[in-house]
Amino acid sequence: MKTIDELLAEGVKGKRVFVRADLNVPLAEGTITDDGRIRAVQPTIAKLAEAGARVIVASHLGRPKGAPEPAFSLAPAAARLGELLGTDVAFATDTVGSSAKETVAALTDGKVAVIENLRFNAGETSKDDAERGAFADQLAELADVYVGDGFGAVHRKHASVFDLPERLPHAAGQLIATEVGVLKKLTDEVKRPYVVVLGGAKVSDKLAVIDELLGKADRLLIGGGMAYTFLYAKGYEVGISLLQKDQVEKVKEYMARAESTGVELVLPVDILASTEFPDLKGKTPADYTIVDADKIPADKEGLDIGPKTRELYASKIADAATVFWNGPLGVFEHPDYAGGTRAIAQALVDSDAFTVVGGGDSAAAVRTLGFDENAFGHISTGGGASLEYLEGKTLPGLAALEG
């Protein structure tokens, strides 16, 4: 996989360099609420611009259905990128149409432009190779060189991720190189004890990674909505908590495997439970009780791990040499149910381990809760991509850059 430093050594001055970034940032009424992904790709873009490249930045945002949707415009991301770079960033209002062509043609050496949301074109995500390839052909006309730096999308076989680098000389950006290096420390070069903390809503989203980690991790700490399927599998009452009954047998199998292989699989011992899901927008005070994990009332829903579990999990992290965390431990968006997620983040900060926060909601939670990003070994920009790498899958975007 060619690196951006190798590309820069060859010279990019005057060349049109297409950077597939991940600017898929959360928006609230058009305002960016977490710019972490933009800040993560900014160093690659800055390097190229400083070397005299004419930089064309492209990304998806959200899940539009192959046609323009104003709510998913990349305009706010382009504006924020300009602020971070300290320079004007041009913005094209389409992907491969007249605005994109004119905007790219107007670029001069060292200048940057962002084109509109790639998913406004159906060819970007098409399952049909020909349709996807046709869109990649149009994108290729805009550029001379391709740089892949959208780690959050490398697990997608999309036109800008998989097909476009086949059509242009290509290299991996600084962010992708960093992400892959970190993931190797979680797979090929692991220092032990190796502790994995898994949260999030659905256990079905994590089955494949649990399957893989049962042969690699020393401890698995389970929280979030997915924990209630594990607790149910142990025969506990979980009330109206999130539960995937169709996954119970698989979860039982995993618990048995963990026991037989000596992997410590740790479940919550107490829970914050309420009769209703909290109002996240108004953030009105929560009405909850703390109950033992095997005594959740039939009319209540578990919404966070309790104080005993927080202490237990912190103790399981304290002596770790490597920690990977993916998924919040509760409904962290509400301050009264953020305690479990905050406790995990603090345990990582307090540990002497190499700590990796696995993207998505976990990364957003760390920033929302006010932690210094530099206190962690690495905060990934790609939750789904990180998990699929750990599952041992071939990621299309990485395979394309290696070709």
Residues classed as catalytic:
37, 202, 360, 384
Q: Which residues contact 182 (CB under 8 A, 6 or more apart)?
A: 356, 377, 378, 380
Cβ-proximal residues to 158 (8 Å cutoff; 6+ apart), any chain: 60, 118, 124, 125, 132, 396
Q: Note whether 241 and 294 are within 8 A (CB).
A: no
Query: In this structure, what token pair is assigned to residue 179?
Result: 């992400």
Whether residue 256 contacts residue 230, with contact meaning beta carbons closer than 8 Å, is answered with no
Q: What are the C-alpha distances in Å from 205 to residues 81, 210, 247, 293, 389?
A: 32, 10, 11, 22, 14
Please give the structure tokens belonging to residue 338: 């953020």
What distance in Å separates the CA atoms of residue 124 and residue 159, rounded to the nearest whole number?
Answer: 5
Query: In Å, how far from its chain's centre is CA 252?
Result: 28
Rounding to the nearest 10 degrees, give the CA dihedral for residues 135, 139, 145, 149: -80
Helical ranges in 186-275 per DSSP H: 207-213, 227-233, 248-261
Alpha helices in 30-128 (DSSP H): 36-50, 75-85, 98-105
Using only C-alpha atoms, what is the Rg of the chain? 22
Would you say 199 and 226 are in contact if contact means Cβ atoms under 8 Å apart?
A: yes
- Interior angle at CA 40, CA 19 and CA 204, nearest 5: 95
What is the three-class DSSP state of 195?
strand
Start-to-end C-alpha separation, the chain: 8
Tell me the C-alpha to C-alpha distance, in Å, between residue 258 and each of 168, 236, 249, 387. 46, 19, 14, 19
* Cβ-Cβ contacts under 8 Å for 127 (sequence gap 6 or more): none
